[in-house]
A and B are shown apart, each in its own frame.
Chain A
Amino acid sequence: MPSYLFWLFSTVMLAGGAAVIAFRNPVASALSVVACFVGLAGLFVGLSAFFVGVIQILVYTGAVMVLFIFIIMLLDLKGEVKRATTIAPILGGVGLVIAFVVQLTCVLSRSPDLPAPALDKTTLAEASGSLVHSGTIAASGKIATALNAGSLPDVHLIGRALFTDYNLPLQILGVILLVATVGAVTLSKKTDPSDRSDRSDR
C-alpha cells in the first residue's frame, strides 16, 4: 500500500476512535465507531488481508454497530446526555493513556523495523511451487492456478486452512454462536410475574 493511503486510513481510524470518546451523544459515538472501522478495513485491505477487511465491514460495521444503534434507540436515553463530568476519571484516563503510549514508543524504538515482504508475480509463483511441493495444495487446484496467474487467492487460502487445520475450533465456534443466540433471547425476555411464582414453588 502506498504510504499516503496508510496515513489516510490511519487518520480516519484514529480520528473516529477519538470521536467515540469525545461525543456525548451515544448515537454520534456509534457512528464514529463505524468511521473508525471503515478506516481499519482500509488498513486490512492494504495489508493484502482482503477477506478480513470484508468481514470487518460486513460483521462489525454492518451487523454489530447496527445492533448497537438499535439498542441505543430502544433504550431512549434522554437524561444521559446532560450530566456533569467529574475531573478524577478524566485525569486517570489521560494518565493511563500517556503511560501506555510512552511504553509503546519505548518498545517500538528498540524493536527492529521490517519492510513489507514482496507479494509480486515471482514470489507468488515461488509460493505456489513450494506449497505444491510440500503437498499442501494440489498442482492443478484453484489456489495453485491463481498463484501462478499472479493473484493472491486470499479467501481460498483462509478457507483451506479453516476447514482442514482449524476444523475443530470452527465447530466449537458454531456452538458458541448458538449458545450466544439462546443466551441473548433468554436474557432479554420479559419475565412474567406468574412465571416467577411458578419457579419459586419448584
Chain B
Amino acid sequence: MTAMQRRSPLGFRAAQHTADGSTSITEKQFEGKLILRGNPSAIGANVAGVMATPMPAKVHETATGPRGTTQWLSPDEWLILTAPGGETDLSRDLTAALTGKHHQIANVTDYYTTIALSGAHARDMLMKIATVDFDPLTFKSGMGVTTNLGRANPWLRATASDSFDIIIRISMADYLWCLLAESGHEWGLAGLTPKGAGVTLHLPHFETGTPAAPAIDPTPTPDL
C-alpha cells in the first residue's frame, strides 16, 4: 500500500524573488493553525495561561508568545498560529485549560496555508491588490487584519516592518500566489499562471452554434 505523502498546496511553486533580490514570496508549509472561539471574559485568563501572553482584545491586535501567535478575528474568535506539528499539543493544552467553559477549538492547519511576503516592495505589492492602508505609519508591525487581496479573503499580519504573513485557504492559495507575483511584475517577478486556469471545461450552453441540449440524445449507449 502506498505511503501517505503529505503535500503543501504551494509545494510545487518555487520561492519568488524580485530582480533586486529585496523582496520575496515564500510558503511557510504546514504552519499549525487553530481557530479558538469563546467569550474573552470567560476564557481569556485560561488561554493567556497556555499561550504565556495576553489574548488580543480588539480589532487589528495580535499577540506573540513562546507557543505561537494569536490574531484577533472577531470579538469571540481568534486565529492561533504555531510551529508545524505544534497544533496537536496546543489544541490538547487549550482544551484542558478550557474544560467546563463554553468554547470551540477547531484545527484548521490543513484548511489554510501561509504565504510570507517580505522585503522593500512588500507594501507596494499589497497596495496594488488590497484596499487596506499599508502605509508603515498606519499598518505597523504586529498588526493583523482580515481583508481582500484581489478576490481572495485572507487573514494577514505584519510580522516585521516589511514582512507579512498571509493566511489563505488552500483552494485560493495559488490564485493569490500568482496575483502577488503579478503585483511584483514591475520589480521583475515573473508572470505565473494559476492552477486551474488552463483546464478543459464542458460548457455546451456557451458554445456558439450548439443547441442548448439535444431533445433526443444521439450518443450511442456503450456496451450495456
Q: Are these two chains actual partners, yes or no?
A: no
Residues of A within 8 A of B (CB): none
- Give the A-binding residues of B (Cβ under 8 A): none
